[in-house]
Structure 1
Amino acid sequence: MARQNVSSGTKWESVVGYSRAVRIGNRVSVSGTTATDESGAVVGAGDPYAQTKQALTNVAVALENAGASFEDVIRTRMFVTDIDAWEEVGRAHGDVFAAIRPATSMVEVSRLIDPEMLVEIEVEAVVEPE
């Protein structure tokens, strides 16, 4: 099967050795995605809901570039720096996935790569075979 690596163009992809998303056959995996804008600046500092929305916006772009959409998502993983913010993070996740209902996890981590980052989201999708 052909492999399609999707890049977001950040310098970290080549430094760390990863792709924003990878598609092989009908499976798409999106790397941990945070609430950054095109310049790499954190969006929604201090606001877990806003950061979750931005991270999901970034995930949507990666999915689209891999030929998928939110409707194809079967699994999400949310990493949060404060589990007490679960309702805000969950509400933003629900804004996108309430009708789709992928399997999901939300796990508290001690920190993310930038202290302003509160949420990181991974996604797995399955699309119709080409």
Structure 2
Amino acid sequence: MAIKRIHTGSPFEAKIGYCRAVVAGGFVHVAGTVGQGGDVVEQCRAALETIEKALKEAGSSFEKAVRVNYYLPDAAEFEACWPILTEVFGANPPAATMVECNLIDPKYRIEIELTCLA
């Protein structure tokens, strides 16, 4: 089975030893992705932009999403992201889970992990 690894050049990729996405077994597995910005909405948009670039390189798209996990240090902030997520996934929403937990740095308000069909 062929495996394709997609790197975005994030300094965390080299420091931690991972890549943004891996295409294997008919799926694109996108690593937990944070975005830059001052609040959860800006960070959500930025994370989705990074994910979209990786999906395009993998030959996939949000329309092929089958599973998404959202990680937030404060679950109360999640609702502010709902309109963005509805816009991105449109008529093809994936199965989803939201987990309240600590992230790698307190400045991050949301991390998004996604699995799509290749």
| Alignment pair present for 1:52 and 2:44 | yes
1:1-130 aligned within 5 A: 1-35=1-35, 42-43=36-37, 45=38, 47-109=39-101, 111-127=102-118
TM-score normalised to structure 1 length: 0.84
Contact 1:5 1:23 in 2 (8 A): yes
Query: What is the root-mean-square deviation in Å for CA atoms of aligned residues?
Result: 1.2
Instruction: Name the CA distance, whole Å, in 1 between partners of 2:87 and 2:47.
Output: 13
Instruction: Name the CA distance, whole Å, in 1 between partners of 2:44 and 2:18.
Output: 22
Residue aligned with 2:56, SS: helix
| 4+ residue segments displaced more than 6 Å | none
Contact 1:76 1:121 in 2 (8 A): yes
Residue aligned with 2:50, SS: helix
Residue aligned with 1:9, SS: coil
Contact 1:34 1:51 in 2 (8 A): yes
The runs of 5 or more residues in structure 2 that have no matched partner are none
TM-score normalised to structure 2 length: 0.92
- Which residue in the other structure is 1:38 paired with? none
Query: 1:97 Cα shift?
Result: 1.2
